[in-house]
Structure 1
Amino acid sequence: MPTETLDFWLQQLLRYGTRLLIALVLIVIGLQLARWTARAVGAALIARHIDRLLADFVRSSIVAVGIVVVVLASLQLAGIPTASFLAVLGTAGLAIGLALKDSLAQLASGVQLMVLRPFRAGDQVTVAGQEGHVQSVRLFQTVLLSPDNRLITLPNTLIVNQAIVNASRCDKRRIDVSLALSIDTPLPRVVEAIAPVLQRPPLLREPAPLVAASDLSDKGVQLMIQAWAPRQDLATARSALIEALQKALAEAGVRPLGPPAPPLPAHG
């Protein structure tokens, strides 16, 4: 091989090899910097009592954007024209977007959940017929932990397109109890018997409890009882209220009726 040709290839190797090496170093340092920035921003958001779901979403978004920026900068530094690369990437992105429109819809729904924030990490929600505590909101899916300790993974589009019931957002919850009484039961005596029960903790005095007749038929009177309790004490408060009502009614000599019999099936 002539000396001039060898020198030419050595110069090209040195020129482009140095660029390629610098580009690889930039990729390594840039990716580490993106991860470090994502962790720092996430920690700062959590320190400011920002919801953990939003902090996780911001972290993952920073990493994704950082990867794209670092790769494009490295290609430019290595001497690869990024204009044509971006044009090809845009065309390929359009084709991929059409093929993955459902996945992109999931991504858009994940962003919508992060912006609107109908629930936070740990909230108890009911959505799409599923109930559980929110564990995480990912770009494409939301994960719930059911009361019986099962992980439920729901597509984000399914959540956005249906009603969301959040049982953790309000501090107070109402307890509803219905009593079926015979038609000749003296209601003032019943109300007097159960009034002290509705004043016992953890039941709340505000909003005030309510005792009212809700229905009347030839079979009897339906008495509606509503009381409020702190959200975190809801289950124990309901159980204690039912036990106390049973005892108070027994002491007053009032015996509630059983549930009405189911209607007979129609014939003909």
Structure 2
Amino acid sequence: MKNMNEMLDQGAGMAPWIMEMMLNLAIAIVIFIIGKMLASKVAKFLESRMLKSNVDKAVAGFASSILYALMFAGVILMALGQLGVETTSFIAILGAAGLAVGLALQGSLSNFASGVLIILFRPFKAGDFIDAAGQAGTVDRIELFSTYMKTPDNRVIIIPNSAIANGAIVNFSKEKTRRIDLVIGISYDADIKLAKNLMQEIVDADERILKDPACTIAVSELADSSVNFVLRPWVNAADYWTVRADVLEKIKYTFDEQGVGIPFPQMDVHVHKEAE
């Protein structure tokens, strides 16, 4: 009976401490939830304001990601402080642990550093069509560790920033104009001058093809099955694919109407009969 009374007395003495811990835990949870929501809203607000100020979408996304990470780290420290954790010593412990974690996460840190370099040197911006890390697509946004791209068939490609920064980047949208490189083959018995004149008429009739620089039309090769022309018109970058498709289609129809043959790949076989 005496032991029971002692246990009740100890429980009664611990009740205020337990209540205080429960209250601090509840407050810490509230701080974490509200802080996380606030950090997300502030980061989105910053991104929207930067976009309204005509800041590049990639830069705005990168800046909002950094702001969210910093605010979220602050929220965690505030929640731990509410629980009675000594944040100064905790920060020191985090610093020591951060070194070990940093060594284990060299790839992630490399992606972060590469993202900073991409933002600083701006080899591309949001909306540019690029070929990087073996993938081609339109840049959507640059985040802390990766870059988001969309392909013409609306697939989303997520590429680590380090893979982009450490490789060759082809930016198809950097310049306002592009040259279309076509190889047009005609049969050996076709009229070369007629074929050249027909292609020149097609180029001259298309208003989307630029007059300066002038289009190049010339015989480039006497191939196995055809006489090959190079056709190199200049167009605005936005018109590249439509003009390319239209020119090829017009050449096919025009050559068919004018009797200029476009040969299939072929091989001539000569058979010699030996005398008996």
- TM-score, with normalisation over the residues of structure 1? 0.75
Q: CA 1:218 to 1:107, structure 2 compared with 1: closer, same or farther past 3 Å?
A: closer
How far the C-alpha of 1:113 sits from its partner, in A, is 2.2
Matched positions, count: 255
Equivalent residues in 2 for 1:47-58, closer than 5 Å: 47-58=52-63
Q: Is contact 2:188–2:226 with CA below 8 Å preserved after alignment?
A: yes
- SS at the partner of 2:244? helix
Provide the C-alpha distance between the structure 2 equivalents of 1:240 and 1:140, rounded to a whole number of angstroms.
Answer: 41
Letter in 1 for 2:174: R
Partner of 2:218: 212
Partner of 2:94: 89
How far the C-alpha of 1:112 sits from its partner, in A, is 2.2
Q: Is contact 2:187–2:260 with CA below 8 Å preserved after alignment?
A: no
After superposition, the C-alpha distances for 1:217-254 in whole angstroms (9 at most, x for unaligned) are: 67653211101222222222112111222333345443
Which of 233, 239, 243 is the equivalent residue of 1:227?
233
Q: Is contact 1:180–1:258 with CA below 8 Å preserved after alignment?
A: no
Q: Is contact 1:183–1:220 with CA below 8 Å preserved after alignment?
A: yes
- SS at the partner of 2:243? helix
Letter in 2 for 1:257: P
Provide the C-alpha distance between the structure 2 equivalents of 1:258 and 1:102, rounded to a whole number of angstroms.
Answer: 51
Is 1:238 the counterpart of 2:244? The answer is: yes
Which ranges in structure 1 are unaligned for 5 or more consecutive residues?
A: 1-8, 13-18, 262-268
Q: Is contact 2:182–2:230 with CA below 8 Å preserved after alignment?
A: yes
How far the C-alpha of 1:205 sits from its partner, in A, is 1.6
Which of 117, 134, 137 is the equivalent residue of 1:132?
137
Partner of 1:5: none
> Percent of counterpart pairs with the same letter?
36
Q: Is contact 1:180–1:259 with CA below 8 Å preserved after alignment?
A: no
Q: CA 1:77 to 1:143, structure 2 compared with 1: closer, same or farther past 3 Å?
A: closer
Provide the C-alpha distance between the structure 2 equivalents of 1:247 and 1:172, rounded to a whole number of angstroms.
Answer: 27
Provide the C-alpha distance between the structure 2 equivalents of 1:220 and 1:35, rounded to a whole number of angstroms.
Answer: 63
Provide the C-alpha distance between the structure 2 equivalents of 1:25 and 1:146, rounded to a whole number of angstroms.
Answer: 41
Q: CA 1:24 to 1:143, structure 2 compared with 1: closer, same or farther past 3 Å?
A: closer
Q: CA 1:20 to 1:147, structure 2 compared with 1: closer, same or farther past 3 Å?
A: closer
Is 1:192 the counterpart of 2:197? The answer is: yes
Q: Is contact 1:110–1:138 with CA below 8 Å preserved after alignment?
A: yes
Q: CA 1:182 to 1:33, structure 2 compared with 1: closer, same or farther past 3 Å?
A: closer
Equivalent residues in 2 for 1:26-45, closer than 5 Å: 34-35=39-40, 37-45=42-50
Q: Is contact 2:180–2:235 with CA below 8 Å preserved after alignment?
A: yes
- TM-score, with normalisation over the residues of structure 2? 0.73
Equivalent residues in 2 for 1:151-190, closer than 5 Å: 151-183=156-188, 185-190=190-195
Question: Cα RMSD between the aligned structures?
Answer: 3.7
Q: Is contact 2:225–2:265 with CA below 8 Å preserved after alignment?
A: no
- SS at the partner of 1:195? helix
Q: CA 1:159 to 1:260, structure 2 compared with 1: closer, same or farther past 3 Å?
A: farther
Provide the C-alpha distance between the structure 1 equivalents of 2:133 and 2:76, rounded to a whole number of angstroms.
Answer: 40
After superposition, the C-alpha distances for 1:174-198 in whole angstroms (9 at most, x for unaligned) are: 2122122345655333322221211
Provide the C-alpha distance between the structure 2 equivalents of 1:170 and 1:40, rounded to a whole number of angstroms.
Answer: 32
Equivalent residues in 2 for 1:136-151, closer than 5 Å: 136-151=141-156
